[in-house]
Structure 1
């Protein structure tokens, strides 16, 4: 088994910001075409990006690839749609129902825990690690 370094708060935040700039802005611009549905289309586009790209791109999003980190399952199986649904949808619902309190707790967990896992990582059985090429 290869020992991998867990990705901490700042590198994960950097990846999210890069995804927002590189992917989020173009999706938002495309969504503008849909008029009154632009918010729904924009959110759906970003949701599908976060759901599908890591499954088909070995745990990477564009931002994560640039930052040299990737999502992995704890059992070393490939990511699946189900895993990413748990991570995004169920994790997002937890954050929403707690009015963002769970999101703050997750950020503290990533910053303070040795394994750097957030609540959505526990829900989905995932971890974010630095790839072996760095």
Structure 2
């Protein structure tokens, strides 16, 4: 929908001339073409990007606010991150294996300790000097 300067003036409750003056602060016409202010450029960029998911470099224009933490990655860091995500299931399996292996070693060490204590008691009971004390 388009609005004339008179329509805008009615909406804002100002004169037509005020609207024209305000628009001239955003846009100027000369023999070379059209020049826009920095503020107008920001408005144009925002409007242009509002309907697009990515810009020319492939980066997202707007970050969803569904997340508590947003982290930026360089291309190299992101590739490393992807590689780690792919490796994760294998590393998780290896970790479970080593955990079970460590538990098994712990049980074996407890058995060895128990056997050594029994052996020491047996040797001590066979020692005649042990009974004299």
Highest RCO, 1 vs 2 (Cα 8 Å, sep ≥ 6):
1
When the two structures are superposed, what TM-score results if normalisation uses the length of structure 1? 0.21
Q: Which has the larger radius of gyration?
A: 2
When the two structures are superposed, what TM-score results if normalisation uses the length of structure 2? 0.21
